[in-house]
Structure 1
């Protein structure tokens, strides 16, 4: 009898939730607008925020009711929920202004902050804000400027730092500008890129890349000088890396466990081969071993997988005009130390064009690779065989060991497809512009 009661109790606990699940109907709320708008949500809450016709609106009940924010003044350029503090913080930038607004309570209250840009800085857009993953008071502001230098317009950006969330000071580049430099640029990022970062450093540790470029009368690059430097006091003092003294630093990216830097030896040739350097401690860099020469590395497309390996898409876009068949675009994956890279056999087709990859953090071990064909008509006048240049998208769920096509699952509309969707090896989803 007792056993029967236990079985009935278990059955009741399992069956009633199933009934409730079948009866559940999601509530849909409609909000009309005459204009296009951007919509963001705060993490783990029912709070939504949207930018609609230069007005910021807040909802605390999943969009059923909306209230306009009255504190924000000026022509709004962008609304962003802080990717590192998505539970409660958002930023609103003002077009052509060093002023922006921030909320730390899901839009209930807003405060205005102004970056003290130099007097001769005419903003081309607004200042962008980078946040610290653990300390919300630490911010880096990047302000692109047009500078009038005795009648000549020069492009440069000014970097500012705050350690109290209120007052900003300018970060002076440690690389000095020369008279014949036409474009100077700076970029700074926190050494800790995530809350679970393995790279050592205090909260004020930042890595900066300073660059000066000169061009001749035909607008061809005449010289490029760069410097990568580390600061442990929020940009007040810097230590440069001697490994890069005689090199041109192209880009850098900070991941959870690694810092990646791409360099070129020839400062007068933008298409010279690149080297990849890796650091695991933000103190020293080692050159990585690559299977072949590379000339185009998009740092923004680099990811670190769930076991600490670096994934780099190599896109062959521009080539030497004497080369009728360039090296194919490919995906490289490193060992756990990030120092030895090997190509991934993710497709049997040779490619010439762009490769994008995504490794979403919420799908551990998953990598999506997407190829977009491109032709270098400026050099070879379209000699490449178009038959091998086609869109291709594949997915791996085992950290890149095996790859498969994206199967289309739509039995009700199977007849509407031009191919047999039950055969994914011949009929699969090809989407070069996915977003995850």
Structure 2
């Protein structure tokens, strides 16, 4: 009995300690002067499995070795930095490019730097970039651009046929970590520089693009492209107005030169010593290739590049390229490859235009391939969601789980706009202001754009809907909202028990946080409804899911950035600032997977025009970028939770088995994590270790979509 009372006392003491716990907070400051009317906030890049980060801003580089508690200036480069990148495949390495020319590399997380010797023929070395190999640290690809004549990049750099300037792009390969580079020469006749030449050059990629790749690790694929100007003519591309609720956008081109492009696909297996054309595509112009873990997809054209009906799709899984087939009536939509084409290593996604209404209109549809990549079908038939655009995201470490956002447009009106100023009548202003703007722009400045003809104005609203799949996209579910306390009911504009018409809809798609993986604990910003209007964030709240995305609960009635520590057992939430109030005054933290929250008030408010957050082990680094008239400043807060629960480490009795997808059998396997119990008073303390995914064999069953 005495032992039992003692254990109860210890548990209550630990609980009280957790509730009273205040994390350690360190504040540091980095400041650089900036040019008048120009601010460069740069970025924060963290090395994985380390306490080291690189901060680049205002052309200078700074480094921390202690989770941002203190910073040092890297004097090797001076104030001459163009960009900084940490190697995504090799955790000890990072590269820095300087404006004066040259690329520097560190192979010990910033403690020592050395310059890479670039080819002597490259004079402007600032226009060079590197690509690394997922498996071999010695393999590098280098691309450099050379501007011949008076050619300049930018919006005003359109060449005219009588110009003698052009841009050249050269590709090099190295198999000795950059000690030497070999130019990758194209196996075609060199193009003579004629007055109509706009561009010629070579762009290469490793066939192995990720650690998941099943393709040959020694092959490099390249496209050699030649672009020439043929004539001048007035033409309009996508002459439309787009009215999305309160915002109006326009896209209009005129008096642009017309260009013809010829591209050739080739490859090398010996780092450029020899090159060979891809036989299957040597009679076609290969416009682009995309490399995925198990497939390479190429787009070829047989005719004028403006005639996209002549484009064909080719796919290889390591052997010869073969022609892929789209559904009847579907035509590949150029420049519309989704960010995530290979959400499953065996499948490919791409967009296609499909004629509707007997040829009087087109709609955009997402297509999905079979495992061979050669036969495509409509993805819409799986999701049952009509959409003009689909964005898919694999959730980190959650096997088989895919987050989907399906956007669709609703036409409001169709009218004829004589010039862009007429759309002021769509603004949310009073009628007197509208009339004044109309008179001013149509009477006093009527001839400012005499070449602009009337064009169709299409007003529409763009909506999006969020869904989740737990079986690689075979079935999709709405995101169920729960409200155990009932205190957020007034913020919901629909019945959350009717999941078909009332579910969680994500509104913020981009994050400033570099997070460690969690065992099914997620936080996102959004609203509750049947769908959400794009650009409408008036009712944004922050939601949490502790079951891998199946159900969502409100944690804050305002948007935050969420940083996860200890695999999601500790959460730090930083309120998002806005133009109405850039000042950050406090943050919130939870040590029980987001069930209970406490506030931490900063000693003094800090303006945060730019926020960057990195979570590692038991520490969160929060960088707040702001500016004064003369300088750009970063204030860093390092938040330390290493002493929560008295620093105790979890034992076997503190674990629970948590199954992904509620224990459903996915392709014959059940997946699970060993996760800390929410009320366990301990830390996992596995800094820089990945979550271990457990697998169990099971009998698959037919799962019906619960859309």
TM-score of the aligned structures, taking structure 1 as reference length? 0.81
In structure 2, relative to structure 1, the CA distance for the partners of 1:209 and 1:16 (3 Å cut) is farther
Task: Write the deviation string for residues 30-77 of structure 1: whole angstroms up to 9, x where unpaired.
Answer: 333456341111112222221133322222221112222121235212
Distance 1:217 1:54 in 2: 41
Q: Could you tell which deviates more after superposition, 237-246 or 401-410?
A: 401-410
Quote how far apart the aligned CAs of 1:102 are: 1.0
| Shift in CA distance, 314/268, structure 1 to aligned 2, threshold 3 Å | closer
Give the corresponding residue for 1:344. Answer: 379
CA RMSD, 1 decimal: 3.8
1:223-262 equivalences in 2 (<5 Å):
223-262=260-299
Deviation at 1:247, TM superposition (A): 2.0
Residues 101, 22 of structure 1: alpha-carbon distance in 2 compared, 3 angstrom cutoff? same
**Corresponding pairs, count:** 414
Asked if 1:366 is matched to 2:391, the reply is: no
Give the secondary-structure state (helix, strand or coil) at the position aligned to 2:280.
helix
Rg larger in structure:
2
Of the three residues 393, 412, 415, the one matched with 2:490 is 415
Aligned residue in 1 for 2:220: 206
Q: Aligned equivalents of 1:342 and 1:20: distance in 2?
A: 58
Please say if residues 253 and 300 of structure 1, whose CA atoms lie closer than 8 Å, have aligned partners that are also in contact. no
Structure 1 residues 373 and 73, CA, compared in 2 at 3 Å: closer, same or farther?
farther
State the Cα distance separating 1:189 from its structure 2 match.
1.1
What are the Cα deviations for residues 228-279 of structure 1, in whole angstroms up to 9, with x where unaligned? Answer: 1110111221111121123221211222211111222224435335322111
Check whether the contact 1:252–1:259 (CA below 8 A) recurs between aligned residues: yes
The answer to whether structure 1 residue 155 and structure 2 residue 167 are counterparts is yes
Please list, as runs of the form range in 1=range in 2, the aligned pairs for 1:52-71 lying within 5 A after superposition: 52-71=57-76
User: Secondary structure at the residue paired with 1:31?
Assistant: strand
Compared with structure 1, are the counterparts of its residues 423 and 402 closer, same or farther at alpha carbon in structure 2 (3 Å cutoff)? same
The unaligned stretches of length 5 or more in structure 1 are: none
1:140 — aligned with what? 141
**Structure 1's 274 and 398: CA in aligned 2 closer, same or farther, altered over 3 A?**
farther
- TM-superposed CA distance for 1:170, in Å, is 2.4
Compute the displacement of 1:93 (Å): 1.5
- When residues 69 and 17 of structure 1 are mapped into structure 2, their CA distance, relative to the original with a 3 A threshold, is farther
**Aligned counterpart for 1:84 among listed residues 79, 86, 89:** 89
Q: Post-superposition shift, 1:191? A: 1.7
Matched, 1:29 2:26: yes
Q: What is aligned with 1:426?
A: 502
Distance 2:326 2:454 in 1: 26
Q: Out of 460, 476, 479, which is 1:403 matched to? A: 476
Tell me whether 1:100 sits opposite 2:106 in the alignment. Answer: no
Shift of 1:148: 1.7
Does 1 or 2 have the higher relative contact order (CA < 8 Å, sep 6+)? Answer: 2
Is 2:44 the counterpart of 1:39? yes
Contact 1:84-1:133 at 8 Å conserved across structures: yes
TM-score normalised by length of structure 2: 0.52
Q: Which whole-Å deviations, capped at 9, do the CAs of 1:81-101 have from their partners, x for residues lacking one? A: 11111x211111123x54111
* 1:380 to 1:90, Cα distance in 2 relative to 1, 3 A: same
Change beyond 3 A, Cα 1:65–1:220: same
- 1:217 paired to 2:231: yes
- 8 Å contact 1:414–1:420 — kept in the other structure? no
SS in 2 for 1:243: helix
How far residue 114 of structure 1 moved from its aligned partner, in angstroms, is 3.9
In structure 2, do the counterparts of structure 1 residues 93 and 122 end up closer, same or farther at CA, with 3 Å as the change threshold? closer
Query: What is the CA-CA distance between 1:426 and the residue it aligns to?
Result: 3.1
- The CA deviation at 1:162 is 1.6
Q: Could you tell me how far 1:370 is from its partner in structure 2?
A: 3.1
Once the two structures are superposed, what CA deviation does each residue of 1:152-196 show, in whole Å capped at 9, x if it has no partner? 221221212222122223222333325454221321111222234
The residue correspondences of 1:297-376 to structure 2 (distance < 5 A) are 298-299=336-337, 301-306=339-344, 308-314=345-351, 324-327=360-363, 329-345=364-380, 348=384, 350-352=386-388, 354-360=389-395, 362-371=397-406
Task: Report how far residue 394 of structure 1 moved.
Answer: 3.0
Q: 1:135 to 1:347 in 2, by over 3 A?
A: closer
